Amino acid sequence: MFQPIDIAGLHCPNNVFLAPLAGYTNYPFRKMCMRLGAGLTFTEMVSCKGLSYGNEETKKLLYCGTESPKAAQIFGNDPAIMRAACESEALAPFDLIDINMGCPVPKVVKNGEGSALLENLPLAEKVIAACVKSGKRISVKFRIGVNGNKIAREFARLCEGAGACMITVHGRLREQVYAGEPDYAEIAAAKQAVSIPVIANGGIFSKADAEAMMGRTGADGVMIARAAMYDPKIFCKILGTADVPLLELFLNELEETKALYGEKFACVFMRKMAAFYTRGMRGAAEWKRKLFSAATTEEVAALAKEIF
């Protein structure tokens, strides 16, 4: 069930992936998840328009160090700009480029990007085809539909026909955001409609959830999202890889985040991550209060040593 997978010649050690998570899946976090067993990790979603403008903050999201294999996620709705991004130096290091066609955030949707493309199939097809012409491996992550209209089967076929080498299906409608049980039948329909690998996403918080998702959909793999923010060791639990103490993981992540992004960012970001990692712990509310009053990475590290 959990085994190596090839995506158009790209070998991944296993089929349990880390989802692209805006604001979270920076390089130190991805590196930690790969250490714990993730078979493939994705950058935060990156604006193709931002890349075209040479935005330095956008480029920072694409730092990928020594990780292998490398996957980035992009978003946009202009085929020419999207292709140019795929051909750019910024995306040159990546083995796979994923197009976001599932983001439900209003500001993204209002721009005609993310899940808005589920309502404009001709444009979605043009975007995928243009990106494929870059010569890069292109995958697509999408939701099962919008406003009650479920189109997973149709959209899966569109992606494959336009040249995508993999799809990831989030088993919820846009309006559900992250609530409710994923629609296994829709993911299964997408899987049955295409011959390229299909990765299932949504509602996976344990090994049992991952097994149920694979069993009920026939998917070729699973993608872990919010669960990894709460407990990055979910990859160990699903795959049986070597466990690592949470304190060691946290301090390594803190040190690497500070080295890459500076003291201020590391303090704010790692306070947030520590708060996620306390989920379910006794006294979590008080730990969170102390964490968010920490003013330096040294204070965050000291609290982590108490907590973890």
Residues 6+ apart with CB under 8 A from 97: 71, 72, 73, 74, 86, 91, 131, 134, 136, 137, 138, 139
142-161 as b/e: b if 16+ CB within 10 A? bbbbbeeebbbbebbebbbe
Q: Which of 86, 103, 131, 267 is catalytic?
A: 103
Q: Strand pairing partners for 169?
A: 142, 200
Residues 168 and 101: their CA atoms lie apart, in Å, by 10
DSSP tag of 163? T
- Phi-psi region at 120: left, alpha or beta (left = phi > 0; alpha = psi -120 to 50): beta
103 is catalytic: yes
Tokens read off for 21: 């998570």
Tokens read off for 67: 């990780």
Residues 308 and 306: their CA atoms lie apart, in Å, by 6
Give the DSSP letter string of 109-149: HHTT-GGGGGG-HHHHHHHHHHHHTTTSEEEEEEEEEETTE
User: Which residues participate in catalysis according to the annotation?
Assistant: 103
